[in-house]
């Protein structure tokens, strides 16, 4: 491999990206935009769920319970209702997502039987929110008294078991249960996948479309030299983007960073190899820019968004899908990033996912260099 | 004829098929050192396909190409150093400057540093582009783009240069400049293979191959080609309104091998000038077209091509 | 026979400027109805500007441009329905049939519906496309496409037809057939303006206007242009040592230009130096023997090159 030729290609590629407003926008603006839009917009936590209360008893006890709900940051207590009809109306009108009915025998059952229950009626059009809301409600109740349980009016007829023993739970590594803390590292992965693949997927296709590739392949330049030379500038751009995203994550979004920058650098480098390699392979296979960019989006954004553990936890997915996620390169990087940010893991701790990424990188590099042919056909 | 050693390019029985059409059908030819060899033919004749196969960016389906003794089909990389290819579409980077493009190709071809500066200055000056070094290639005029392409093709001093329709769309003055550069190269021993649809450019080649629908119909020097024509050209000069009547009159006469009207007269290929010119004079007078004058003129490649095609159409 | 010899297209001291650049600099000519006029000139010479003025797309800054009596300076719109245009790569719709293309252009130009069928039939017949009328244009060979494009351009019976390099890259048989069609169209009174770089194409024009830097440098039949006295004499020289002869000749002050044509030189000399003998003498002095020195008729390209200014052509950067 001739170093001069590789550098010549890298220099040319860099100049072209620099002078092309669209490429620059993708390389520099898009990551920033994504970070801000998704960083602020995406939150899996739910706050201020509108809550309706139907207090049939109206005792001191029930009032104390309602105080707990009012004080909770999960709920926003709306006007009290006094009939079931009014409650149903409130849910239908969207005035509340969850309604709690305190039965008229509430305090009596508590003192005589030792346990009681309240009824929760949830607007389950968004079952995720409904389930969460009920869960939060139980949490509020537990804080009030461990012997009060919830009977949930919903598709699940089972009632939640009362907890006679108080369980002290501690959530490790993300004490605030801030969803942002585990979303943003994943976001970094997704941005890099998108930017990296988009930029490189156009690189060869553009030259074929403009006619410059026909001339280039008539020269002594080899496929490997071309690949390395073309990817070098995108590597640099990718690393810069990653740095910017990480800095934003840490200093703007206050995501804790407990790991070493070196670990981050090495793993990011590996991930970039994979992503850029995929983009290059796409570009070598599809000689139209439009086609290449579409395929790039499909092969990078979609899997990384859906199946890498970025938004939806992998262990909640059906078995078959879980198996498929092993093929999603984003999965390894997302878990690596979360580990570095939140657990402070070092290279030694991450041998397995790093190994997987490395294997992936080698396979992709082999595919990419084979896809490129020095022929106009 | 020179010996084997001088044969720089040898192509034998080339065939190239695409879905629905056979672009090149059994083509064979040779090119000698320092020749200016031209593939001449209309669009769709197969010129670009031929050039691409010679540049080894496309493989023939059948046949062999040897370039300076190297099998270009089996081992294309071995001969890439020695030749340059200028594709039909402008192949340089429009978002890079003239200098950046030249520098890029100097690097690709590993031109030694010491030679680089001197060579690029000389080549750019020869094309009149020394003041445009910092201009983006995309902002050059058509003629300048072609000259830039040629500069980059020559930067590593190749033995062989392949040019696919380099003068298409370029105005005649720039075309002359271009050909002057090409002839200068030949004088220095560079072998040039060029393709063109401009039949009048065929006259400038040392040898040419007439390409029509994938076949090499004739492969000779321009003079030999002219001699192949069985007759001589005459022109009947007349005004526009008389063109059609003159064509009619001539077409009815014996010994007319081909008649076509141009803007200010009618060109006719006759089998025997001495015999036919008086006959034509008489026929024109009889038709009341006495103001038309008859002259002998040299044959041009368009006449040759036309006559040969027509003859083959009649026979085929 | 052509229509009565009235001028169909007239330019009188036409001027057009773009900023402080004068694209058309006092251009005058007169084209009679039924004439085929060629415009030859380098890029940026003003050819396309002149064409655009006569298409009604630009207004002249000074002088007059008249088409069929309409003053384009005052009423450019009026000319639109009277002109036809055929561009270099034919603007035909590849995925429509020949007949559909004709139909489309008939509608675009608002050919009266009572006449559409008849004109379409005639266009197909003249182009020789009877068997291919229902074929997709993408399947037609170049020659057919050309004649179809011409048919589309004249469906609405324009008085003026603009052609932009219509036969470049076309094989000589198809080219000849096309120009026969053009001449026939001109015979019916249509005035044809052709813009081209292609000498073989310019030869088919009745008259040629050579344009350089916004001015008409020469105007006449191809023959008149070739014999323009400003060109000088052209001699063909055949020598064994072509390069040597070239160097010697280029050094002589009375030699305008030396160009290599295959294995011979075309030498353009200043008029006074007529005799081949003088040339031979010069070469002999330097020890060069030549097998042939003859006077040749200049080609159209010679006249183009000699008459168009050879000074540094202004390379205007593309926007």
- Do residues A21 and A129 both lie within one domain? no
Q: Which residue of B has its CA nearest to C296?
A: B298
What is the SS3 assignment for chain A?
Answer: CCHHHHHHHHHHHHHHHHHCHHHHHHHHHHHHHHHHHHHHHCCCCCCCEEEEEEECCCCHHHHHHHHHHHHCCCEEECCCCCCHHHHHHHHHCCCCCEEEEECCCHHHHHHHCCCEEEEEEECCCCHHHHHHHHHHHHHHHHHHCCCEEEEEECCCCCCCCCCCCCCCCCCCCCCCCCHHHHHHHHHHHHHHHHHHHHHHHHHHHHHHHHCHHHHHCCCCCCHHHHHHHHHHHHHHHHHHHHHHHHHHHHHCCCCCCCCCHHHHHHHHHHHHHHHHHHHHHHHHHCCCHHHHHHHHHHHHHHHHHHHCCCCCCHHHCCHHHHHHHCCCHHHHHHHHHHHHHHHCCCHHHHHHHHHHHHHHHHHHHHHHHHHCCCCCC
Interchain contact A/B (3 or more Cβ pairs less than 8 Å):
yes
Among A120-134, B282-296, C128-142, C217-231, the range scoring the smallest mean pLDDT is: A120-134
State the pLDDT at residue C1: 41
| A352 & A206 share domain | yes
Q: Quick one: pLDDT at residue C316?
A: 42
Is residue A331 one of the residues assigned to a domain?
Answer: yes
Contacts of B176 in chain C (CB under 8 A): 259, 301, 305
What is the distance between the alpha carbons of residues B154 and B158, in angstroms, rounded to a whole number?
Answer: 6
Mean residue pLDDT of chain C comes to 86
Domain annotation covers residue A187: yes
DSSP state of C3: P
CATH class (in words) of the domain with range B4-226: alpha beta
Give the pLDDT of residue A42. Answer: 63
Residue A170 lies in a domain: no
Chain B contact set for C318 (CB, 8 A): 138-141
Question: Is the predicted pLDDT of residue C221 greater than 90, yes or no?
Answer: yes
Confidence at residue C160, expressed as pLDDT on a 0 to 100 scale: 93
Write out chain A residues lying below 8 Å of B84, CB-based. 218
By mean pLDDT, which of A113-122, A264-273, B86-95, C169-178 is the weakest?
A113-122
Structure tokens belonging to residue C300: 């159209």
Tell me the mean pLDDT in the region A138-165: 56
**pLDDT reading at B312 higher than 70:** yes
Task: Give B253's contacts (C-beta < 8 A, 6+ positions apart).
Answer: B276, B279, B280, B283
Cα–Cα dist A81/B156, whole Å: 89
- CB atoms B244 and C187 under 8 Å: yes
Q: Are residues A184 and A257 both part of a single domain?
A: yes
Residues A201 and A311 in one domain: yes
Q: Where in chain B is the domain with CATH 3.40.50.300?
A: 4-226
Q: How distant is the Cα of B124 from the closest Cα of chain C, in angstroms?
A: 15
Cα angle for residues A158, A162, A165 (degrees, 5° grid): 150
Let me know whether A144 and A237 are in one domain.
Answer: no
Q: Structural domain of residue A24, as residue ranges?
A: 3-43+178-371
pLDDT tens-digit map of C41-98:
887 778 888 988 898 888 899 999 999 888 988 888 888 888 998 876 667 888 899 9
**Is the pLDDT reported for residue B121 higher than 90?**
yes
Are C173 and B306 a contacting pair at CB < 8 A?
yes
* CA atoms of C128 and A16, how far apart (whole Å): 50
3-state secondary structure of C251: helix
Cross-chain residue pair A212–B55, CB shorter than 8 Å: no
Instruction: For residue A115, give both structure tokens.
Output: 């346990």
A294 plus A195 within the same structural domain: yes
Q: Are residues A246 and A336 in the same domain?
A: yes
pLDDT, mean of residues A294-303: 85
Residue B261 has pLDDT above 50, yes or no: yes
CATH class of B230-298: alpha beta
* Bridge partners, B163 (sequence order): B86, B194
Least confident of B14-18, B85-89, B227-231, C176-180: B227-231
Instruction: Share the mean pLDDT of chain A.
Output: 82
* Record: contact A214-B91, CB cut-off 8 A: yes
Beta carbons of A9 and A204 less than 8 angstroms apart: no
Q: Is pLDDT above 50 for B2?
A: no
A152 and A90, same domain (yes or no): yes
Q: Do A141 and A193 fall into the same domain?
A: no
Say whether B204 and C262 touch across the interface (CB within 8 A): yes
A108-122, A155-169, C185-199: lowest mean pLDDT where? A155-169
Considering the domain architecture, whether residues A36 and A82 belong to the same structural domain is answered as no
Is residue A163 predicted with pLDDT exceeding 60? no
Give the residue-averaged pLDDT of B288-299: 84
C-alpha distance from A286 to closest chain B C-alpha (Å): 18
pLDDT tens for A343-352 read 888 888 888 8
Pick among B139, B173, B250, B293 to test the C interface (most C CBs inside 10 A): B173
Q: Does any CB of chain A come closer than 8 Å to the CB of residue B81?
A: yes
- Report the run of H or E that residue C248 belongs to, with start and end: helix C242-251
In percent, how much of chain C has pLDDT > 90?
33
Average pLDDT of every residue of chain B: 90
Question: Does B306 sit within 8 Å of C176, measured CB to CB?
Answer: yes
Confidence of residue A153 (pLDDT cuts 50, 70, 90): very low
Nearest in space to A9 (alpha carbons), one of A322, A331, A291, A224:
A224
| Exposure class string for A82-119: b at 16+ Cβ within 10 A, else e | eeeeebeebbeeebbbbbbbbbeebbeebeeeeebbbb
Alpha-carbon span A186 to A310, nearest angstrom: 5
Residue A269 belongs to a domain: yes
Q: CB C304 to CB B262 under 8 A?
A: no
On whether both A259 and A341 belong to a single domain, the answer is yes
CA–CA distance from A261 to each of A180, B72, C14 (Å)?
21, 51, 73
Mean pLDDT of A342-363: 87
Q: Residues of chain A whose C-beta is under 8 A from some C-beta in B?
A: 2, 4-5, 7-8, 11-12, 15-16, 19-20, 210-212, 214-222, 374-377
With beta carbons under 8 A apart, name residues in chain A contacting B77.
220, 222
Give the pLDDT confidence of A228-245 residue by residue, as tens digits: 999 999 999 999 999 988
Q: Which positions in chain B touch A224 (Cβ < 8 Å)?
A: none
Residue A40 CA to residue A48 CA, distance in Å, equals 17
For chains B and C, having 3+ Cβ pairs within 8 Å is answered yes
C98 in Cβ contact with C133 (< 8 Å): yes
Smallest CA–CA distance, residue A219 to chain B, in Å, is: 6
By mean pLDDT, which of B60-64, C221-225, C288-292 is the weakest? C288-292
Q: How many CB atoms lie within 10 A of CB A219?
A: 18
Give the rounded distance of the alpha carbon of B314 from its chain centre.
26
* pLDDT grade for A215, boundaries at 50, 70 and 90: very high
| Residue numbers in C near B229 (CB within 8 A) | none
Other CB atoms within 10 A of residue B162 CB: 27
- Partner residue facing A15 (CB), from B80, B85, B100: B100
Residues of A in contact with B94 (CB under 8 A): 210
| Cβ neighbours of B90 in A, within 8 Å | 211
Q: Is the pLDDT of residue B172 over 60?
A: yes
For B200, nearest residue in chain C (alpha carbons) = C200
Q: Does residue A317 lie within any of the structural domains?
A: yes
Predicted confidence (pLDDT) per residue in A34-86, tens digit: 888 877 776 656 678 888 888 888 888 888 888 888 888 788 888 788 888 88
Tell me how close the Cα of A327 comes to any Cα of chain B, in angstroms.
36
CATH number at residue A115: 3.40.1710.10
Does A176 have pLDDT greater than 70? Answer: no
pTM of the predicted protein model: 0.82
A151 and A226 co-located in one domain: no
The pLDDT tens digits for A89-137 are 888 888 888 888 888 888 888 777 777 788 888 877 777 777 778 888 8
Output the CA–CA distances (angstroms, integers) from residue A204 to A271, A295, A301, in the order listed. 21, 14, 20
Would you state the pLDDT for residue C5?
A: 65
* Domain assignment of residue A168, yes or no: no
* Percent of the residues in chain B that have a pLDDT greater than 90, as a whole number: 60
Q: How many distinct structural domains can be found in chain A?
A: 2
Residues of chain B with CATH 3.30.70.920: 230-298
The neighbours of chain C, by the rule of 3 or more Cβ pairs under 8 Å, are B
């Amino acid at each position: 491999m001739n170093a001069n030729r590789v550098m010549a290609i890298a220099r040319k590629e860099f100049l072209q990206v620099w002078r092309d407003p669209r490429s620059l926008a993708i390389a520099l603006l898009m990551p920033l935009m994504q970070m801000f839009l998704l960083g602020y917009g995406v939150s899996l936590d739910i706050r201020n769920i509108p809550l309706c209360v139907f207090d049939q008893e109206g005792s001191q006890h029930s009032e104390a319970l309602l105080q707990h709900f009012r004080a909770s940051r999960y709920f926003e207590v709306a006007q009290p209702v006094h009939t079931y009809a009014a409650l149903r109306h409130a849910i239908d009108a969207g005035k509340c997502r969850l309604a709690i009915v305190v039965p008229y025998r509430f305090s009596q059952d508590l003192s005589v039987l030792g346990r009681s229950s309240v009824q929760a009626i949830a607007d389950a059009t968004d079952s995720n929110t409904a389930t969460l809301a009920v869960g939060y409600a139980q949490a509020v109740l537990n804080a009030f008294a461990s012997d009060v349980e919830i009977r949930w009016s919903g598709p699940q007829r089972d009632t939640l078991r009362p907890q006679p023993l108080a369980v002290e739970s501690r959530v490790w590594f993300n004490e605030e249960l801030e969803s942002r803390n585990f979303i943003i590292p994943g976001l970094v992965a997704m941005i890099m996948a998108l930017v990296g693949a988009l930029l490189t997927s156009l690189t060869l296709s553009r030259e074929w479309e403009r006619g410059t590739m026909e001339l280039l392949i008539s020269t002594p330049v080899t496929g490997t030299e071309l690949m390395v030379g073309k990817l070098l500038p995108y590597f640099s751009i990718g690393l810069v983007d990653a740095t910017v995203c990480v800095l934003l994550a840490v200093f703007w979004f206050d995501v804790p960073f407990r790991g070493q920058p070196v670990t981050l650098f090495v793993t990011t480098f590996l991930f970039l190899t994979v992503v850029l390699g995929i983009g290059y392979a796409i570009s070598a296979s599809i000689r139209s820019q439009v086609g290449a960019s579409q395929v790039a989006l499909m092969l990078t954004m979609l899997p990384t968004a859906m199946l890498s553990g970025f938004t939806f936890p992998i262990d909640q997915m059906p078995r078959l899908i879980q198996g498929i996620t092993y093929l999603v390169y984003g999965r390894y990087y997302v878990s690596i990033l979360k580990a570095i940010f939140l657990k402070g893991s070092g290279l030694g701790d991450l041998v397995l996912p790093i190994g997987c990424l490395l294997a992936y990188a080698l396979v992709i590099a082999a595919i990419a260099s084979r896809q490129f042919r020095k022929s106009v056909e | 004829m020179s010996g084997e050693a001088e044969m720089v390019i040898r192509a034998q029985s080339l065939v190239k098929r695409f879905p629905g059409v056979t672009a090149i059908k059994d083509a064979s030819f040779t090119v000698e050192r320092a020749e200016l060899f031209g593939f001449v033919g209309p669009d769709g004749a197969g010129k670009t396909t031929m050039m691409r196969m010679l540049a080894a960016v496309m493989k023939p389906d059948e046949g062999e190409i040897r370039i300076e003794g190297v099998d270009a089909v089996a081992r294309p990389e071995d001969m890439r150093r020695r030749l340059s290819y200028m594709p039909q579409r402008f192949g340089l980077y429009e978002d890079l400057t003239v200098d950046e493009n030249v520098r890029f190709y100097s690097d690709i071809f590993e031109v030694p540093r010491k030679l680089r500066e001197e060579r690029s200055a000389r080549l750019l000056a020869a094309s009149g582009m020394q003041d445009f070094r910092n201009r983006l290639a995309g902002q050059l005029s058509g003629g300048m783009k072609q000259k830039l392409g040629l500069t980059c093709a020559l930067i590593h001093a190749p033995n062989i240069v392949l040019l696919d329709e380099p003068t298409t769309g370029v105005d005649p003055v720039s075309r002359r400049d271009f050909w002057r550069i090409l002839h200068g190269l030949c004088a220095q021993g560079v072998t040039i293979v060029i393709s063109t649809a401009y039949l009048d450019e065929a006259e400038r080649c040392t040898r040419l191959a007439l390409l029509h629908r994938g076949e090499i119909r004739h492969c000779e020097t321009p003079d030999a080609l002219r001699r192949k024509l069985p007759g001589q050209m005459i022109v009947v000069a007349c005004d526009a309104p008389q063109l059609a009547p003159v064509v009619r009159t001539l077409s009815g006469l014996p010994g007319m091998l081909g008649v076509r009207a141009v803007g200010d007269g009618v060109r006719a290929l006759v089998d025997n000038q001495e015999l036919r010119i008086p006959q034509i004079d008489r026929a024109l007078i009889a038709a009341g077209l006495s103001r038309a004058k008859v002259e002998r003129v040299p044959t041009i490649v368009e006449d040759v091509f036309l006559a040969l095609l027509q003859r083959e159409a009649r026979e085929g | 026979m052509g229509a009565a010899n009235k001028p169909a297209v007239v330019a009188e001291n036409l001027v057009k400027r773009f900023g402080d650049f004068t694209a058309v600099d006092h251009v005058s000519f007169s084209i009679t109805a039924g004439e085929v006029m060629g415009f030859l000139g380098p890029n940026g010479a003003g050819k396309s500007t002149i064409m655009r003025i006569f298409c009604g797309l630009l207004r002249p800054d000074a002088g007059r441009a008249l088409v069929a009596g309409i003053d384009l300076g005052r009423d450019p719109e009026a000319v639109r329905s009277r002109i036809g245009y055929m561009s270099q790569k034919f603007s035909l719709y590849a995925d429509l049939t020949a007949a559909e293309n004709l139909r489309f252009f008939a509608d675009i130009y608002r050919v009266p519906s009572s006449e559409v069928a008849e004109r379409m039939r005639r266009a197909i017949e003249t182009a020789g496309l009877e068997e291919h009328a229902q074929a997709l244009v993408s399947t037609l060979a170049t020659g057919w496409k050309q004649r179809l494009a011409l048919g589309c351009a004249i469906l609405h019976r324009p008085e003026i037809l603009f052609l932009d390099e219509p036969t470049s890259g076309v094989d000589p048989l198809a080219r000849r057939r096309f120009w026969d069609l053009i001449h026939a169209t001109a015979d019916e009174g249509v005035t044809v303006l052709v813009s081209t770089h292609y000498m073989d194409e310019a030869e088919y024009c009745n008259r040629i206007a050579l344009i350089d830097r916004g001015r008409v440098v020469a105007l006449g039949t191809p023959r008149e242009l070739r014999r323009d006295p400003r060109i000088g004499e052209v001699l063909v020289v055949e020598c064994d040592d072509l390069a040597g002869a070239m160097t010697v000749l280029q050094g002589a002050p009375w030699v305008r230009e030396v160009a290599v044509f295959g294995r011979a030189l075309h030498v353009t000399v200043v008029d006074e130096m007529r005799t081949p003998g003088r040339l031979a003498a010069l070469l002999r002095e330097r020890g060069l023997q030549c097998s042939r020195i003859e006077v040749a008729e200049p080609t159209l390209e010679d006249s183009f090159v000699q008459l168009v200014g050879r000074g540094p052509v202004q390379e205007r950067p593309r926007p």
